[in-house]
Amino acid sequence: MPLARIEIPHERAKADDTRESKTRLKRGRPVGSKDKNPRKRKEVEKHDDPKITESILGETSHEANENIELPESEENHEISINYIHNGKIWNRNEMDDVDEFFSYLVSNEINEENEDPEPKSVSECQKRHDWENWKNAIQVELDSLNKREVFGPIVVIPKSVKPVGYKWVFVRKRNENNEIMRHKARLVAQGFSQRPGIDYEETYSPVMDAITFRFLMSLAASENLEMRLMDVVTAYLYGSLDTDIYMRIPEGFKMPEALSSKPRELCAIKLQRSLYGLKQSGRMWYNRLSEHLIKKGYINNPICPCVFIKKTSSGFVIIAVYVDDLNIIGTHEEIHEATNYLKGEFEMKDLGQTKFCLGLQIEHSEKGIFVHQSTYTKRVLKRFYMDKSTPLSTPMVVRSLNVEKDPFRPPEENEKILGPEVPYLSAIGALMYLANCTRPDISFAINLLARFSSSPTQRHWNGVKHVLRYLQGTIDLGLFYPKNADDQMIGFADAGYLSDPHKARSQTGMFSLSEEPLSHGAPETNSRGHLLKPC
């Protein structure tokens, strides 16, 4: 699909948008500047045991201070962009091949509001101005746990059994415009203490990827089908456990009279349902949903295990699963029947026409479906302090066949490698997530810069900032899928013989576009900015 543009209304600047982030205020410099002697950073974390009954919703709390130090400059190490909040450190030596999973993790960090991070504990929630919202979210979670009968009896911990811990996790759910829709609280098990072969056997749970989702959107557009998004409420709680799991008794639970004389530390509560945080929870939920759909006549295959299809005499319906988000595609009658069948087994929320899923913003019109990530792009620019930069018209500068003048040449012998304070890996991951989803025009530039993830220099960092400045001027670009388009595909290819002057490798790339041109689309170009012509 060719890149298309959208109209983005000019938003009024808010007072909060002009504030510097905590990182910049503490460091006194933007992310990316050099610092040979990093200063120590402090973060106040609340470590208070969560309480499951009325005591958890009380107004008393206490907190403990924990100091987090910025690591000394180590070669090929890098602090994450949210290091002050999560303490993560990336090892560049282990990131020679930046994959989709890493880029997804970085995108999640960017989607976290650094200036207003999510609370880490109940006591921290109680200190916030939106405590009433968190209080209601906690109560909703407790009601769900009781309704699904997740907890079994409290027993003395059997021999050879290692109970898992627990923790409260708080998240604010947002829409496609980055507006807070609801507050969500989860009581999760600390599955990192589970032992393989004893507490779980298999953990793999398939999910739909962005490529499959884009194909389904193009199918919906070309066949003029409807798209509806459904959300399963507390999806993991529907799965049945395949092993015996014991969890430490959350504070607030009353001990049974028969065990009142026993120390609380010697007892545990047996889990009857899969709980968030357990290694096998995702797999148990997928198995439960898969069995329910196959029983109704839906089919899937090993290539796309998360896409369930059912054909009827009047049409067909497709259910694309991404954990607890179900995208239902088909005609109106088939979608109505599918939603009624799912609601009969699971508690679900009907979110209406799909407008935001997997970080993609989806706009439906009479002409087709437009997919973009303008909100995410703005966050990326703001997170790397490039939201006020001067826009550029191309994603990268022209390479030189002269190995000594090529700005993208490998690090030279005496050239300085960037320190841990420069978020090179984080920037590559954030941009790769964008390139993989809706911005193929930056794919070549990001692929080239990702080759130097283990030992980036200032030249390579300048290349990253060049891509960010290009995005500053093309925030409104995305992919457009026209309605009733011809099934015929037009392919484009570009190849360069020995185009890599350093390793004498040939480079090529290809992709296909719809035959129907766009009246307001961007020029059809390949990832290096060259105009495309049909083969």
What interhelical angle do 458-473 and 374-383 show, nearest 10? 140
The mean predicted confidence, pLDDT, of the chain is 78
Position 70 pLDDT exceeds 70: no
- Provide the percentage of residues in the chain whose pLDDT is more than 90: 31
Q: Does residue 106 sit within a domain?
A: no
Q: Are 429 and 447 in contact (CB under 8 A)?
A: no
Q: Per the structure block, which two tokens stand in for 528?
A: 């290096």
Q: Does residue 415 sit within a domain?
A: yes
Sign of CA dihedral 457, 459, 465, 470: negative
Sign of CA dihedral 207, 210, 214, 217: positive
Q: What is the pLDDT of residue 48?
A: 41
Do 477 and 340 fall into the same domain? no
Q: How far is CA 230 from CA 224, 238, 296, 321, in A?
A: 20, 16, 18, 10
Q: What is the pLDDT of residue 301?
A: 85
Do 450 and 481 fall into the same domain? yes
Q: Which of 509, 477, 478, 514 is nearest to 493 (CA)?
A: 509
DSSP character for 256?
Answer: P
Do 320 and 457 fall into the same domain? no
Q: Are 139 and 56 in contact (CB under 8 A)?
A: no
Q: Which of 328, 239, 241 is nearest to 286 (CA)?
A: 239
The range of the structural domain enclosing residue 316 comes to: 116-358
Q: Per the structure block, which two tokens stand in for 510?
A: 């290809």
SS (H, E, C) 315-346: CEEEEEEECCEEEEEECHHHHHHHHHHHHCCC
Q: Does residue 295 sit within a domain?
A: yes
Q: How far is CA 452 from CA 102, 135, 410, in A?
A: 16, 47, 7
Q: Does residue 73 sit within a domain?
A: no
Q: Are 64 and 46 in contact (CB under 8 A)?
A: yes
Instruction: Tell me the three state secondary structure of residue 510.
Output: strand
Do 302 and 432 fall into the same domain? no
Domain boundary among 358, 384, 414: 358
Position 230 pLDDT exceeds 90: yes
Alpha-carbon gap, residue 530 to 320, rounded angstroms? 35
Q: Does residue 107 sit within a domain?
A: no
Q: What is the pLDDT of residue 413?
A: 85
* Furthest CA-CA distance within the chain: 82
Give the pLDDT band (50/70/90) at residue 30. very low
Q: Does residue 47 sit within a domain?
A: no
Q: What is the pLDDT of residue 97?
A: 67
Do 166 and 285 fall into the same domain? yes
**What are the start-end ranges of the H helices in 22-112?**
22-27, 83-86, 100-111
Do 318 and 393 fall into the same domain? no
Do 204 and 323 fall into the same domain? yes
Do 302 and 401 fall into the same domain? no
Q: What is the pLDDT of residue 299?
A: 94
Q: Lowest mean pLDDT: which of 45-59, 194-208, 480-494?
A: 45-59
Do 392 and 491 fall into the same domain? yes
Do 252 and 376 fall into the same domain? no
Give the pLDDT band (50/70/90) at residue 284. very high
Do 138 and 168 fall into the same domain? yes
Q: Which of 48, 32, 1 is nearest to 426 (CA)?
A: 32
Domain boundary among 358, 381, 413: 358
Q: Does residue 366 sit within a domain?
A: no
Q: Does residue 32 sit within a domain?
A: no
pTM over 0.75: no
Q: Per the structure block, which two tokens stand in for 57?
A: 């919703």
Instruction: Tell me the three state secondary structure of residue 284.
Output: helix
User: To 5 degrees, how large is the angle CA 114–CA 115–CA 117?
Assistant: 60
Q: How far is CA 373 from CA 222, 356, 435, 476, in A?
A: 22, 10, 10, 8
Give the pLDDT band (50/70/90) at residue 409. confident
Position 330 pLDDT exceeds 50: yes
Do 435 and 329 fall into the same domain? no
Domain boundary among 299, 332, 358: 358
Q: What is the pLDDT of residue 207?
A: 86
Instruction: Tell me the three state secondary structure of residue 133.
Output: helix
Give the count of domains, the chain. Answer: 2
